[in-house]
């Protein structure tokens, strides 16, 4: 079989490991790795990595075949170019790694008669109906380490701090990290300043912690508002892109392997549109067609 693999949207730890396991499992097939996601499909750009190179870099952060948010593929012209590329390479099935935006791109391929296997990869953990997407656990662990280190100095000065974490419009990282660092308040899109102030006033900590979901409110303004309300210095930190990098956590490694087994099986099944998903803690293959 001729199998294409691509990654699109935000990257996350564990994607290289998934790539390694799936390429290894499918090594008896002809695999084409498209570079920079749907852009690589539109412009027919591939990577010629062999299994030993992929193995060597399997625990690296990022995604070695590169990713993009491809504007070209949003147009009918771009989509036609991508479909023609797949025809030229005589591709039988495309394995697509990405988040919920990428799932829409995968659906476009499917609507054009391409067999697709979709694999949830996004630190945001917002790929419904899967309970897990590759990159989430490592991103949360990174946030925890970051917050714990910053909190050391906040404690020395008795300062509060607001930590903005990623997630686009999803509160999964904020909620999980808030739990893990025992935050005084997790500021999500349903939150109000009043609720946050009340939580900090109730807190017995000398260095209270607020975890803020990105795209909800301005982090600098929030820290200023809190500072004037609780009569304590309140700093802010944007955790940022560090959340997408680094070596995969143990949980990430386990899911990368399980998703690879699931995708390799899906390549051979009858469904023209499959998705590897975690349901009730088990990796399963959903038929989206």
Active-site residue 124, yes or no? Answer: yes
For 101, phi then psi, to 5°, come to: -65, -40
Residue 288 Ramachandran class (φ > 0 left, ψ -120 to 50 alpha, else beta): alpha
Whose Cβ is closer to ligand F6P: residue 82's or residue 123's? Answer: 123
Q: Sheet harboring 234-238: ordered strands across?
A: 185-187, 209-213, 160-165, 234-238
Contacts of 194 (CB under 8 A, 6+ apart): none
Of 81-89, 147-155, 163-171, 246-254, the segment contacting ligand F6P by CB under 6 A is 163-171
Among positions 3, 6, 10, 185, the unique one binding ligand F6P when judged by CB under 6 A: 10
Residue 161, strand partner residues: 209, 235
14 lies in the binding site for ligand F6P (CB under 6 A): no
Whole-angstrom CA distances from 79 to 5, 37, 41, 196, 220 are 17, 13, 9, 46, 41
Subset of residues 203 to 262 that bind ligand F6P, contact rule: CB under 6 A: 214, 244
Stretch that binds ligand F6P, among 75-83, 140-148, 165-173, 193-201 (CB under 6 A): 165-173
Kindly write out the interface string for residues 75-114 of this chain, putting x where it contacts ligand F6P by CB under 6 A and - elsewhere: ------------------------x---------------
To the nearest whole angstrom, how small is the minimum distance from the Cβ of residue 66 to ligand F6P? 13
Q: Which residues pair with 47 in a beta bridge?
A: 33
Q: Cβ atoms within 10 A of the Cβ of 80, count?
A: 12
Q: Annotated catalytic residue: which of 11, 124, 126, 184? A: 124
**175 is a contact residue toward ligand F6P (CB under 6 A):** no
The size of the interface with ligand F6P (CB under 6 A), counted in residues, is 12
Question: Which residue among 168, 176, 253, 257 contacts ligand F6P (CB under 6 A)?
Answer: 168
Q: State in angstroms the smallest separation of the CB of 221 from ligand F6P.
A: 19
Given a contact cutoff of 8 angstroms between Cβ atoms, the answer to whether 276 and 283 are in contact is yes
d(C-alpha 34, C-alpha 42), whole Å: 10
The residues binding ligand F6P (CB under 6 A) are 9-10, 69, 99, 122-124, 166-168, 214, 244
**Residues marked as catalytic:** 124
């Amino acid at each position: 079989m001729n199998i294409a693999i691509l990654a699109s949207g935000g990257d996350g730890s564990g994607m290289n490991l998934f790539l390694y396991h799936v390429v290894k499992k499918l090594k008896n097939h002809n695999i084409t790795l498209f570079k920079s996601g749907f852009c690589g499909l539109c412009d027919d750009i591939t990577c010629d990595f062999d299994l030993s190179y992929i193995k060597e870099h399997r625990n690296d952060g990022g995604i070695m075949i590169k990713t993009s948010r491809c504007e070209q593929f949003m147009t009918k012209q771009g989509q036609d170019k991508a479909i023609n590329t797949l025809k030229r390479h005589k591709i039988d099935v495309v394995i697509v790694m990405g988040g919920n935006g990428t799932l829409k791109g995968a659906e476009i391929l499917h609507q054009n008669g391409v067999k697709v296997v979709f694999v949830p990869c996004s630190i945001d953990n917002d790929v419904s109906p899967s309970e897990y997407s590759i990159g989430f656990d490592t991103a949360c662990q990174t946030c925890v380490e970051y917050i714990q280190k910053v909190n050391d100095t906040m404690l020395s000065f008795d300062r509060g701090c607001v930590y903005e974490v990623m997630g686009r419009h999803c509160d999964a990282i904020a909620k999980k990290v808030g739990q893990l660092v025992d935050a005084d308040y997790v500021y999500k899109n349903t939150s109000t300043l009043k609720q946050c102030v009340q939580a900090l006033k109730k807190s017995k900590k000398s260095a209270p912690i607020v975890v803020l979901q990105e795209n909800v409110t301005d982090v600098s303004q929030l820290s200023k508002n809190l500072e004037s309300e609780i009569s304590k210095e309140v700093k802010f930190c944007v955790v940022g892109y560090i959340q997408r990098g680094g070596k995969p956590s143990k949980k990430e490694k386990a899911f990368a392997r399980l998703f690879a087994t699931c995708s390799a099986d899906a390549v051979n099944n009858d469904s023209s549109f499959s998705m590897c998903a975690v349901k009730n803690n088990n990796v399963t293959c959903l038929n989206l067609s």
